[in-house]
Amino acid sequence: MLHRVNLASCLVLWITSCAITLAVDPNDYMARALQLMSETPLIDGHNDLPWQLRSQFNNQLNKVDLNKLANTHTNIPKIKDGRLGAQFWAAYVPCDTQYKDAVRQTLEQIDVIHRMCQKYPEIFMFATSSQDILDAFKMNKTASLIGVEGGHSLDSSLGTLRTMYQLGVRYLTLTHSCNTPWVDNWLVDTGSEPSEHKGLSSFGKQVIAEMNRLGMLIDLAHVSEEVMNQVLTLSKAPVIFSHSSAYAVCPHKRNVPDDVLRRVNETKGIVMVNFYNDYVTCSNTASLSDVADHFDHIKKVAGADIIGFGGDYDGVPRVPEGLEDVSKVPNLVAELLRRGWTDEEVKAALGNNLLRVMSEVEKVRDSMSGVIPDDVPIPYEDVQNPCRTSFGYPSTTGSNGSAHLLSTLALLITLALQAWITLTG
């Protein structure tokens, strides 16, 4: 009888072993990819669906059904098929808003992300911490975080930075494709724009310190190489590149050079690979395999521990064949496995690297809990323009607001003279 019991037990173990082997057949790369994605959340660093909601619907979310939205890279069925565990939604407004209504428009983008989570609570869970991401994953929901894309959205105000943090913003991309009054953008490296600050100004360094104190991720996508290196030296916490690729594979100035990749490794940060064709192959066309080449290169130069996913879906006009929308990301995971990436390396890139970085940023914040907020404003001469008042700054003319009035009048006179010369010329 005992012999029969042992035989039966062995048979059950053998059948179970075979079933597990079949379920994770090492040669069935897609099955392995989906298995790993069920164990570790796919965290994507940058998605511009909120901008599509503005540009197509003027943020009238009541007129949109994300279950049926068909002309975007991202909708709810695609999110489910893509096994999207967490997403940093970009609160982006164009550089044209700088010195005008950038703060208002950014707040409206933050608002539409909150409302998206509220409208689809069974799909999205608003998240502000590494633990929130894990909690959402356990509930089979997509953790939804906010990243503000571009320092121009702050209007050079540390108070605005703090307010946005209170509204749930957890990363700030220091620039978009324009200089701000305190930091240079990537176009400086192309020679198409002049450097205004040789990287960061003194106020820019204040921004970095305040972001460390708050526990806000510093995003170096879109900045100049000088800024990359300055921030890597200054920041007490690891940094992210939310949607950038490898410069050695595609020499576009939006990508990250090898020496910076190594510094990201040394400081325990992360580079989340962008899928935009122009940053993948430096041409209009690209394939999934080309994107995997960036993953391989970053891994070779700086290790698998600094890699993540930063698709840039719905923010770019061209994406690679095989990665046509959010639903296709498992294809890339399967390709990495086919190329010999280990399960642990894939899980690191999927989400564990970002969770580690975010957790470390939170630890730095906690260690700075005794540091008071920085309330020293940017010098007025650095931001003076006809659309900005000077309330609170010391008056240099003896009458409140007269300096602003004079600068405005001077601008209007100049414009009038230019118009007159054009008409009479």
Active site residue 294: no
- Kindly give, in sequence order, each residue whose CB lies less than 8 Å from that of residue 139, ignoring residues fewer than 6 positions away: 125
Write down the catalytic residue from 312, 314, 325, 345: 312
In this structure, the number of other CB atoms found within 10 A of the CB of residue 353 comes to 26
Q: How far is CA 317 from CA 3, 242, 331, in A?
A: 67, 18, 20
Active site residue 222: yes
C-alpha span between 355 and 77 (Å, rounded): 25
Tokens for 416, please give them: 């009038």
Write down the catalytic residue from 73, 152, 197, 222: 222
Write down the catalytic residue from 44, 48, 314, 335: 48
Write down the catalytic residue from 44, 132, 149, 345: 149
3-state secondary structure of 125: strand
Active site residue 114: no
- Kindly give, in sequence order, each residue whose CB lies less than 8 Å from that of residue 157, ignoring residues fewer than 6 positions away: 103, 377, 378
Active site residue 48: yes
Find the DSSP H helices in 25-68: 29-39, 49-57
Active site residue 46: yes
Active site residue 197: no
With tokens 């009054």, the residue in question is 181
- Kindly give, in sequence order, each residue whose CB lies less than 8 Å from that of residue 407, ignoring residues fewer than 6 positions away: 384, 385, 386
Write down the catalytic residue from 176, 252, 294, 404: 176
Strands (E), 190-237: 217-219
Write down the catalytic residue from 73, 152, 197, 243: 243
As to burial, measured by CB atoms within 10 angstroms (0-12 exposed, 13-18 middle, 19+ buried), residue 121 is exposed
CA 261 to the chain's CA centroid: 17
In DSSP terms, 256 is beta-bridged to: 246
Active site residue 312: yes
| Catalytic (active-site) positions | 46, 48, 149, 176, 222, 243, 312
